Amino acid sequence: MRQTVGHYAITGTLGEGGMGVVYSARDERLGRTVAIKMIRASVNDPAARDRLYREARSAASLNHPAICQLYEIGEADGELFLAMELLQGESLASRLTRGPMSLGEAVSTTLGVLTGIEALHRQGLVHRDLKPSNIFLTPHGVKLLDFGLATSTSDPSPTAATAVRLTEPGTVVGTPHYAAPEQLQGGEVDTRTDLFATGAVLYEMLTGKPPFGGSSPMEVFHAILYDQPPVLTGGPAVSALDRVVHRALAKKPTERYQTVETMAQDLRQALAFGDTGSGASARALTRLIVLPFRVLRQDPETDFLAFSLADALTSSLSGLQSLVVRSSAAASRFTADAPDLKVIATETEVDLVLLGTILRAGPQLRVSTQLVDATGATVVWSHTAQVPVGDLFSLQDDLASRIVESLSLPLTARERRMLKQDVPSSSAVYEMFLRANEMSRDARQWRPALELYEHCLTDDPHYAPAWAGAGRMHRMIAKYVEGESYERQHRAESALKRALELNPDLSSAENVLAHLEVDLGRAEESMVRLLRRAKDRAADPDLYAGLTHACRYCGLMSASLAATEQARRLDPRIRTSGAHTHFMLGDYEKSLNFQPEGIPYMTNLTLVMLGRNAEALEDLKRIDTGIVSRLVFFTESLCRLIEGRTEQALESLRRLTTIPDPEGRWYVARTMAYLGAKDEALSLLGSVVEEGFYCLPAFTRDPWLDSVRGTPEFADIVRRAEARHRQALISFLNADGDRILGVAHPV
């Protein structure tokens, strides 16, 4: 160890890194203790000198409690050094070796980091290298260190383009886990770049792991550019912090926090939800997708198992607090003989993939499965079972148990009961159920699927999943097939309620019932039901998709958007009705870019609102609506409207005035008003409010309602909608909706 550096007497070694070594020392002239940072390069190395002087200039321009103070830059024995404030405490990196922080500690530390970032940004500087080792925890607060990569926001030099240190092409030095996408791609950096790094550090403080993993720098880079970090769960405060983290870590700078203060305000709001002490914790959820099984030899009697067995596994595992299972619809896109795990991991953002093959040999089925780490393509476990063709349920039950045990998932008593609850009375019942599930995927097979579910219930009236399947088919037929009556909706409700009587934890029934209640005019009741469920089922994306729907009907637009954000963080491919929420807020660009629909009526209606009529008309004429006949009239009316055929458009709309969904009838009414059928529009709008759609922005902001806006009838409709909206807001707050969704202002 050195003895002296200039007039500083070395007293110990504090740390060592890739670029230099840091000593503790005593300033013999001023009689104070300092830290001395040496650089591992010759004084004649231009790059090394430039880095050190840049760090010195950046640090010297700042005098702030959250910034480590620089005293001097000098040379000793042909080497450059910095003399700076000697800090008491430890680095955040050192602290994290002992495990995650409590929520309160993590938020307090992050607020300290933001204070330092704000001081930098006031000087026109971007740190560009925020990470736990550059954040120091002192008894008096947070200090930011290491400004060797700091740059002016107006610095045009090529070296200012990236915070990842490259010694030569393809070689990365340092830790890349905290670099924003624009840094990795050589783009411009600004305040939002540091906020990305702050979000990554906050995630690590809460979970003990960086948000973007990988076994090599290139894998980390890929994760930063294309993947989303796992969702955090653990209570209202965690939900609020999860939203903060995911906004800070948005890939596009325009979608992140735009200022330090905005992020700080959301962090303070998260603390207001409580649950931030040492007993609070955040957990990163494991994300799993069960791919359709591959049939090794075609067999008409068992081919249906390829999808339906995977679907049954998905359903049995959904609803677990510590596991997010991607939907069967998302999994069905990956049916290749040799699926590309990297592509699956990227597109579905999962950690684990379950692969399987099925081979029938006489009366036996040979089923081989592998649970694979999607990022590293390593096998977690593999299993081969040979069971009689008639013993499918025991196979599904065994696979579900193996997955849970291999992942060491922390199950509650409710979850253990849930996994063992729905046992069919016979193998024949279970086979019929699986066949019905397969058929229900195709709208042309809805009625045969319903008949098969009902056959299941004839043989086993206590099998809850079959009641749920029958209820779902009744609802889909009632809503989308012309000529169906409200009576079928009530048959759907009876079936779904019977399913929940038999199994109160059956999420498939709960989520369909929530949507049905909204259609039946009971949006407030549905919203409260789902909020209560969310308290013990925070990892269910379908639940949040339902809340997106119910909250919008009640006019709670911020709550609706928060619910759809949570649903999409849990499952990026889930279909929610968030596009409608953006539409009713007048955010047409956001509605258009939200996500594709199966029948893209909303997409083309939004194009019309943006004045892109020709584009919409071209797309509408390509749509094949098939058996879903009511959607034919929606698309047909829009085509005729664009073409200027007003009477024909109204003719199509009149066939939709009995659609069993008040929001759907609102779309009909607004179009009628736009086409000049004011009396019909006002009559329909009045019934819409009475029958459960009282989304105030939909009435007060929509430009197509301008023709009726000045009438006494419309003013009365708005007053009635406002009264119901206020009552729904009270119910939302009483059900802790603000805490569950992490929104302070649900409206």
The domain that holds 44 is classified in CATH as: 3.30.200.20
Radius of gyration of the chain (CA): 30
Report residues of the chain scoring pLDDT below 50. Answer: 155-174, 278-280
Q: Are residues 105 and 236 in the same domain?
A: yes
Q: Are residues 269 and 302 in the same domain?
A: no
Domain boundary among the residues 265, 284, 303 is at 284
Q: Are residues 232 and 331 in the same domain?
A: no
Q: What is the pLDDT of residue 16?
A: 77
**530 lies in a domain?**
no
> Both tokens of residue 216?
């090599």
Q: What is the pLDDT of residue 279?
A: 41
**496 lies in a domain?**
no
DSSP structural state of residue 284: E
Who contacts 307 (Cβ-Cβ below 8 Å, separation ≥6)? 292, 293, 328, 332, 437, 438, 441
Residue 716: what are its φ and ψ, rounded to 5°?
A: -65, -40
Q: Are residues 591 and 637 in the same domain?
A: yes
Report the amino acid identity of residue 64. Answer: H
Domain boundary among the residues 386, 420, 454 is at 420
CA 84 – CA 18 distance, rounded (Å): 19
CA 449 – CA 440 distance, rounded (Å): 6
Please name the residue ranges forming H helices in 410-485.
Answer: 413-419, 427-439, 446-459, 464-480
Q: Are residues 652 and 578 in the same domain?
A: yes
Q: Are residues 125 and 32 in the same domain?
A: no
Range of the domain at 378: 286-420
Angle (deg, nearest 10), helices 629-642 and 613-620: 150
CA 227 – CA 469 distance, rounded (Å): 34
> Both tokens of residue 155?
């610095």
Q: What is the pLDDT of residue 277?
A: 52
**537 lies in a domain?**
no
Q: What is the pLDDT of residue 596?
A: 61
CA 279 – CA 502 distance, rounded (Å): 35
Report the amino acid identity of residue 431. Answer: E
DSSP structural state of residue 219: H
Q: Are residues 605 and 663 in the same domain?
A: yes
The CATH number linked to 414 is 3.40.50.10070
Domain boundary among the residues 372, 389, 420 is at 420
Number of domains observed in the structure of the chain: 4
Q: Are residues 278 and 332 in the same domain?
A: no
**437 lies in a domain?**
no
Q: What is the pLDDT of residue 167?
A: 32
**456 lies in a domain?**
no
Q: What is the pLDDT of residues 513-550, one digit of tens each?
A: 988 999 899 999 999 999 998 887 878 888 999 999 99
Q: What is the pLDDT of residue 287?
A: 87
Q: Are residues 198 and 245 in the same domain?
A: yes
Q: Are residues 119 and 140 in the same domain?
A: yes
Give the strand pairing for 286-290 and 323-325.
Answer: parallel
CA 25 – CA 7 distance, rounded (Å): 10
Q: What is the pLDDT of residue 629?
A: 66
The CATH number linked to 214 is 1.10.510.10
Report how far Cα 300 is from the mean position of its chain's Cα atoms: 39
> Both tokens of residue 431?
């086979």
The CATH number linked to 699 is 1.25.40
Q: What share of the chain is helix, strand, coil (3-state, %, to 5)?
A: 50, 15, 35
**Three-state SS at 710:** coil
- In the block, tokens 């699986």 appear at 434
Q: Are residues 390 and 364 in the same domain?
A: yes
Angle (deg, nearest 10), helices 103-122 and 191-207: 160
pTM above 0.95, yes or no: no
Report how far Cα 710 is from the mean position of its chain's Cα atoms: 41
**Three-state SS at 260:** helix
Q: Are residues 266 and 293 in the same domain?
A: no
**702 lies in a domain?**
yes
